[in-house]
Structure 1
Amino acid sequence: MVNEGIEVYLPICEPDFALSWAAYSPGIEFLPSAQAPVLEPVGPRFANDIFDDINTIIIPALAIDAQGRRLGQGGGYYDRFLPLIEDSPVRVAAVVYDSEFVDEDAFPVAEHDQPVDLVFTPTQVHQIP
């Protein structure tokens, strides 16, 4: 994607389960997060206003149901972040294996859980109504 001129931003876990963003480029350094058990890009951090100019965000998921409801890892970072950009033009997508795109009600969903608009699996793109 980057080689095709597409700008890519990666999340950085901040205190209080907030996210900031760093631009990705090949060879960028990654260090362990101070907040979560993940590696994060090193570089200038950007706030959520970058999403005024971004058309798609791809977020992690353990599973997605047919209604676009997402099962995350339980940290709540994306469930807190997504409402902050709901007025932006960004589409929210997740990537899962075919077996992780499941029927409605396959897992419990909480009121604060944020849905996705698109689901990418190895064999198909699912547009959520």
Structure 2
Amino acid sequence: MGQPGAGTHEKAQLRAQVRQRRRRRSAGARHAAQAGFAAQLARVLARTGPGDVAAFLPLPGEPPLLPGLEAAHAAGRRVWLPVVEPGHRLAWVQWHPGAELVAGSLPGLLEPAGPRRELDVFAAVRLLLVPVVAVDRDGVRLGFGGGYYDRFLEGLGSAGHRPRTMACCFADEVLPAGHVPREPHDAVLAEVLTERAVLRLGGTD
């Protein structure tokens, strides 16, 4: 991969390319993908034992997860969404359809209002969906550049919590193996949920 600085530069270029493609995705295509994401999430949860779901509130252009999360809530699962804390940390707020959303600390970010919880909520979480700009077939995640989820996933493992953890992105954002430069701090994921399928990563599918 080269020196860390080179990897960071390559990631920035790749991130810009994928985001440009996201901006070109039509509203009709994003709307059509809602049903696919909801169906794939429902299939995963049907094979998952009772418990909570942790996901994310999609920004414009990101996977339209809300219908799937609404269905999970209607089925009796608690849904947790992240909020940004100082020090590049994440806390978690319980969400329900129609919950109040407030401006977050990052530009353009909306977050659920409510009591903020830490890693303790993951004692009951069975599925964690991780936002990515892209992920490659080795499971290397291209994030948003802030390191929030790399830190969070490291802390989650150290706390002994092991929910089923999946990247979540559009199918055309799953890239060939070796396509995302990996740096020492990068989390590697074993699965990805798209609007078309759930794929194993790391050369297992």
Normalized against structure 2, the TM-score is what?
Answer: 0.60
Which of structures 1 and 2 has the bigger CA Rg?
A: 2
- Tell me if structure 2 keeps the 8 A contact 1:91–1:117: no
> Deviations 1:89-112 (Å, cap 9, x if unpaired)?
212111111111111111212110
When the two structures are aligned, how many residues end up with a matched partner? 128
Tell me the residue number matched to 1:48. Answer: 119
Tell me the residue number matched to 1:58. Answer: 129
1:28 matched to 2:99: yes
2:140 and 2:189 map into 1 onto residues whose CA distance is 6
- 1:55 is paired with a residue of what secondary structure? strand
Shift of residue 7 of structure 1?
1.0
1:82 and 1:69 map into 2 onto residues whose CA distance is 13
Gaps of 5+ in 2: 1-71
> Deviations 1:1-26 (Å, cap 9, x if unpaired)?
11111111000100000110000011
- Tell me if structure 2 keeps the 8 A contact 1:66–1:103: yes
RMSD of aligned Cα (Å): 1.1
1:67 matched to 2:138: yes
> Deviations 1:58-91 (Å, cap 9, x if unpaired)?
0100111111110001011000100111121212
Matched residue type, 1:93: M
The list of structure 1 runs, each at least 4 consecutive aligned residues, that deviate by more than 2 angstroms after superposition, is none
1:121 and 1:46 map into 2 onto residues whose CA distance is 28
- Tell me if structure 2 keeps the 8 A contact 1:21–1:45: yes
- Tell me if structure 1 keeps the 8 A contact 2:140–2:180: no
2:77 and 2:191 map into 1 onto residues whose CA distance is 19
Higher helix share: 2
- Tell me if structure 2 keeps the 8 A contact 1:94–1:116: yes
- Tell me if structure 1 keeps the 8 A contact 2:136–2:179: yes
1:83 and 1:117 map into 2 onto residues whose CA distance is 15
1:116 matched to 2:173: no
Matched residue type, 1:39: L
Higher strand share: 1
1:31 and 1:12 map into 2 onto residues whose CA distance is 10
1:58 and 1:42 map into 2 onto residues whose CA distance is 20
Q: Percent identity?
A: 35
Matched residue type, 1:114: A
Matched residue type, 1:97: F
Normalized against structure 1, the TM-score is what?
Answer: 0.93
Shift of residue 52 of structure 1?
1.6
**Counterpart selection for 1:125 from 198, 202, 205:** 198
Gaps of 5+ in 1: none
